[in-house]
Every structure is written in structure tokens, then in C-alpha cells.
Structure 1
Amino acid sequence: MPITIVSQGRNVSPWVKALKEKRPELDVRIYPHDLPREEVTFALAWNHPLGVFKEFPNLKSISSLGAGVDHILKDPDIPEQVQITRIKDENLTNDMADFTMALVLNHMRGLHAYKAAEKTQTWKPHKYKRNEDVTVGVMGIGTLGTEVAHRLSSIGFKVTGWASSAKRLESIKVYAGPEELDAFLGTADILICLLPLTPETANILNKDNLLKLPKQAYVINVARGEHLVEEDLIQVIDAGHLAGASLDVLREEPLPEGHPFWTHPKISVTPHIASVTDPESAVVQLLENYDRAQSGEPLLNLVSRTKGY
């Protein structure tokens, strides 16, 4: 049975190449050139046109081409019987941990300030804190958040976590649920958002919550742009409560020309590159799920539509 790849604005040729290298006989199609669609039972998707999966009457499964699935779950027209999966990949996890550690250490040592000082040829050392004097709060204790928390703890940071439900991590206190959110925010000298995007977590980085962080806290968002209320972030930074922010995800990508984030001296922007799925690494689990879907076996990395992850 064929696999179709449905994606807008993304070069899918590396995925086709990786799939064919692993299984040369596989019929790999690319939407909209994937007729007849009644033959298709398995789809790979990223930012698909909403409603398109109604055109596949025999579809059994949709796999995200990354760890996130909000781009799939926001489509109300996906039939209930279609199972949705996501990618869990060691490379993806390690890349995210490396990137977030780099942002944390960059902030800790004030490297942005020194880069700005180059423009005015200003030689001015700044005081800095040591790792053991700083608490990093990780919002979202899934696969990525757990690895980030452990990595930061391993180099001396005090680390706390927050999740929608109770989680246990060795030597790391994890707060759970809305009733413990305020207490968690109060711990975070550096806040890292790694939450899945759900109706409950959308806009969670708003003015009220940002003001609950310690004075001069720093915000890192590597989850989804919709977690952050952008105007609120600017207000709280300009009021002096936050030291700044590093943002790898934005509500509109690419970030539009003229957006205030581009020129704000305390906000750093990167183009959604914290952790990019490697097709060669990820296709192994995709093909295993393809085989499982054909034989009726349980799928790996199945997503709960109710939870949103």
C-alpha cells in the first residue's frame, strides 16, 4: 500500500529519499499527486491543508514529521478512526537539549551584551552568576523536557519542572497541574517552555504568568509560538521585570519584517532551528508504524486526541 506525504511549504524530497533508501519497493507519493486516494492508508504530514484528509476514505494513520502534533490536531475534519502518531527520535532529543543548554549558558555569561558592545567598541566586563546559584524551570516534562532537565541538572543548575499531571524525576522537583503553576513560576530564574500546544497551554506565557517569575528572570521558548503572548512579553521586559528572552518559535513564521522582536535589544530570535527532525534517523520508526498499521498491530508513539500529545 502507498504512503503519501502531505505538507505545505516544506521540502519533502529528503523524506522520499530516506524512505526509498530503506525500502526501495515502497510506493511513496506526494500530495496532491497521489491519486487514486482510496489506495492510501498511511500518511505523513506537516502543516497540511485543513480538511484534506477527508479525501482519503481508507486512511488508517497519520504520522507527524516531527515531535509536535498540534498542526494535525487543529484539523477538525480528520475522521475519528484515523490514528495519529508522532516522532520520538534520540537525535531530535539531543539536539533540543544541546540548543537549550547553549541558550541558558549564553544568557548566564551575558554573551549578547558583549556582542552588542562590539558595535560601540566598549570594553566592560559584567558580573555573572554560577550555575549552582540559578534555578532553571522547565515547563513540559515529556521526552524533550525530561532530557533538558537532566542535562541542566548534570552541570550544576538547580532545576524544577512543571507538567499538567504528576511526574517523577530523580533529584528534580516537578510541580503538577494549574494549582501548582504559581509555585513553579516563582522558582524559575530561567524559564524554558517545552510544552505541547493544547487549548490549556495556548497563551500560557502571558503577562500575569510572566510577572510571577522572579525579577530579572529570563524566558526561553522552544515549544510553539502560540504559547507566548508577544505584546505581554515586550511590556514585561520593558517594565524591567524580565531580563530578556530567547525565542526559537513565533506565532508567525518567518517572523515578518518590521516586527518589534527583530530590533528589541533584550530579545533574541532564531528561525525555528532548535531541533530539526533528521529523515534518515526517523524513517525507521515511520516504516515500523507503516507495517504495524497494515497488520493491525498497536502503533508506536500514539497521540491522545483528548490530551493533545
Structure 2
Amino acid sequence: MLGSTGCRVGKVSDLYEGAVRTVKMSILLASTIGPPDRWITPIKDALPNEDLKTNIEADDLSKVDVALFAHKVPGVFARLPNLKLIIGLQAGVDSLLADPELPADIPVARAGDLNGDRMIAEYVLLHVLRHHRNMPFFVENQRKGVWEKPEVLEACERRVGIMGMGLIATPCATLLRDIGFQLASWTRTPNSTEGIENFHGTDALSKFLARTEILINVLPVTAETEDILCAKTFSMLPKGANFINIGRGQHVVDADLIEALDTGYLNGATLDVYRQEPLPSEHPFWSHPKITLMPHTARKTRPASIAPQIAENVRRLRAGEPILQLVDREAGY
């Protein structure tokens, strides 16, 4: 079911029998992105009337209603018999859903800003413009002392494609659209964002890639999307295309990307995510002349911007209202 915001929501009463209305809810900060101290004050400020537990080893967790996770914590779910809601603190929930201990009957929600992440949109714009204006070529020519002026296109002459149109991807796509790029999206199900041509389903992937000169991956990792960017799909792009990955490293077959770059079929790539992070120092991505390597820095998670979303879902849980940004476990996001 979709709420008025267009985000996926879920009726709590459909997922467990009656919301427990307590004077004070117990919230567990189970794991965080970065030091826990960054999170404690913003969450307490957003939930001043709730009981926030932060010492996962020493605290009694038997009455915890809501647990907040950036990543899985082995053994903790067995200590949470009263748990009613799990909230993921990261943009992706793939690692949380992959936890074999994750309770099957407890709803999982994300805590991202409902308006998307402006920092990621700016980051995508930066790298699209770098490839659009062929900046790596000019940087290399400066290093070589070469003065060369190739053809320059306007944004309206460049076809950009984005894989995924979720909470993170949509603001990126609309920003690029508004600058003038010819935008298209590829999604699992139909998407009707104004001014952005949509291709959906497996059968439409080849047509989407064939029209895309700069490809941006913002997909979640699922069984269907793992290794989706491989020799076969790279070959569906026009020769000379560029690739930007801010999804997950598991989407890309590393050796196939290097082969496509080495043969000249792909012009360049910007990578922000990797199968193993930090990226091992011996990995060939580090020294490849056609790869811009970024250390997973598309955004810096700001607890103060996430805490209000957590507080809203805690309020909804107590009131028995639909939970915002509920994860579809079958779809994997």
C-alpha cells in the first residue's frame, strides 16, 4: 500500500495483533554508522519521552519495543522477546535482511529522509558532469602536457540512464532532468516520474541500456540484481559509455568492468561502492587509469536528519498507524 508521500507503508495491525500502547516505549540503539555517541543525543532529542537503551551488552533488553540497526548484531534478537519494529539506519537494508537470525514476523522499516538525500543527489550530479564534459580526459592531457579540444555537448544532447527510482535515486534523477539531460530510468515495476522515460522489467533492460550514454546504478542488492552489471549488460551500452556506481559493489562483476574499460568499449567509470570495503590495496581498481575511485563517500550519514523519521515511526507504532518506508522482504528492499 502507498501512503500520501508515495512511500511504501504497512499497516501495523496487519503485521501483529494490536499495537501495545505504553506510556514509555523502550528503544534499543543496537548498532550505528560511526561512533554511537553521534546518535545518542539526536535520538534522545527526537524521542524525549521514550527509554533509549545504548548498552547492548549490559542493558536488560526484554522489554525493548523498537530496535535500531546499522548492521546486524549476532545473537541480539534472542534477547528481544517484546520486539515490535526494526528500523534500519543505512540507506540499504540488504545486510540486515541477510541476517539468518532476523525474525520473520517483525516489520522492518528504513529511516531515510522522505525527501531523499540531497548530498547524494549533488554527488551524482558532480560525477555525471565530470563524464559529460569528459574531465578525466582533460586531467590526463594536463598530466601529459597535451592541448586538445574535443567536441563538447550540451546537457540536452546527452542521454543519462538511472537504474532504480527509490528514495535515493529519484532526487538524483529529477535534478539531472531539471538541468536538461535526457533522463530515463529502469525499474522493476512501472514508474511515472514526469519528464523521465521509464523502462521496466527484465525485457526492457536492453532497450534502456542501448539509449544510455552515462549509466548510474542506484539499485538495491537482491538475488535478481546481484552481478547485474557484467559483460553482457556492459555490451548493451553504446560504445564509449560511462558508468557510475553508487548502489552496491555486489552489483558489478569487477573483472568484466575492467575488461570493458581495457578494450575501450567503456570510456570510464566512477565507483563509490565495492564488494569489500575498505577496498584492498592490491585491487586493480586503484591503479586503473579509467576509474575514478571514491571511498564510499557519496554522503555522510547525519543522525540529526534521520532521528525525526525514527520518531515518526515510533509515534505511528504506538498509535497503530501505517509504518513509513516499510521494507518489502520479498522484493529485498
Structure 2 residue aligned with 1:271: 295
The equivalent residue for 1:230 is: 254
**Pick from 5, 12, 18: which aligns with 2:42?**
18
Which residue pairs with 2:205 in the alignment? 181
User: Which of 163, 171, 193 is 1:169 aligned to?
Assistant: 193
**What per-residue deviation string (whole Å, max 9, x for no partner) do you get for residues 233-278 of structure 1?**
0011111110011011111111111211111000111111213332
Kindly indicate whether the alpha-carbon contact (under 8 Å) linking 2:316 and 2:323 is maintained by their aligned counterparts in 1.
yes
C-alpha spacing 1:8/1:89, structure 2 compared with 1 (3 Å): closer
Q: How far apart in 2 are the matches of 1:56 and 1:103?
A: 43
Matches within 5 A, 1:182-201: 182-201=206-225
Counterparts of 1:280-291 in structure 2, within 5 Å, are 280-291=304-315
Deviation at 1:3, TM superposition (A): 1.5
CA distance in 1 between counterparts of 2:106 and 2:27 reads: 15
Q: Secondary structure at the match of 1:209?
A: helix
Asked if 1 retains the 8 angstrom alpha-carbon contact of 2:114 and 2:167, the reply is: no
User: Where in structure 1 are there 5+ consecutive unaligned residues?
Assistant: none
In the other structure, the counterpart of 2:245 is: 221
Distance in 1 between residues matched to 2:321 and 2:63, nearest whole Å: 20
**Partner residue of 1:204 out of 224, 228, 232:** 228
RMSD of aligned residue pairs (Cα, Å): 1.9
Secondary structure of 1:62's match?
A: strand
Runs of 4+ aligned structure 1 residues displaced above 6 Å come to none
Q: Given the alignment of the two structures, is residue 259 of structure 1 paired with residue 283 of structure 2, yes or no?
A: yes
Q: Secondary structure at the match of 1:15?
A: helix
The equivalent position to 1:102 in structure 2, one of 126, 145, 153, is: 126
Q: Distance in 2 between matches of 1:286 and 1:147?
A: 21
| TM-score (norm: length of structure 2) | 0.87
The number of aligned residues is: 309
SS of the aligned residue for 1:181 comes to helix
C-alpha distance in 2 between matches for 1:244 and 1:146: 24
- Preserved CA contact (<8 Å) 2:28 2:52: yes
Q: Once the 2 structures are TM-superposed, how far is the Cα of residue 121 of structure 1 from its aligned partner?
A: 4.0
In structure 2, relative to structure 1, the CA distance for the partners of 1:250 and 1:279 (3 Å cut) is same
Q: Which amino acid aligns with 2:28?
A: T
8 Å CA contact 1:7–1:31 kept in 2: the answer is: no
The aligned counterpart of 1:68 is 92
Structure 1 residue 50 displacement after superposition: 4.4
What is the alpha-carbon distance in structure 2 between the residues aligned to residue 34 and residue 4 of structure 1? 12
* Partner residue, 1:77: 101
Secondary structure of the residue aligned to 2:53 is: strand
Residue 216 of structure 1 deviates from its aligned partner by: 0.6
Match of 2:72 among 38, 43, 48: 48
Matched, 1:151 2:171: no
TM-score (structure 1 length as normaliser): 0.93
- Please say which of residues 59-68 and 85-94 is displaced more in the overlay: 85-94
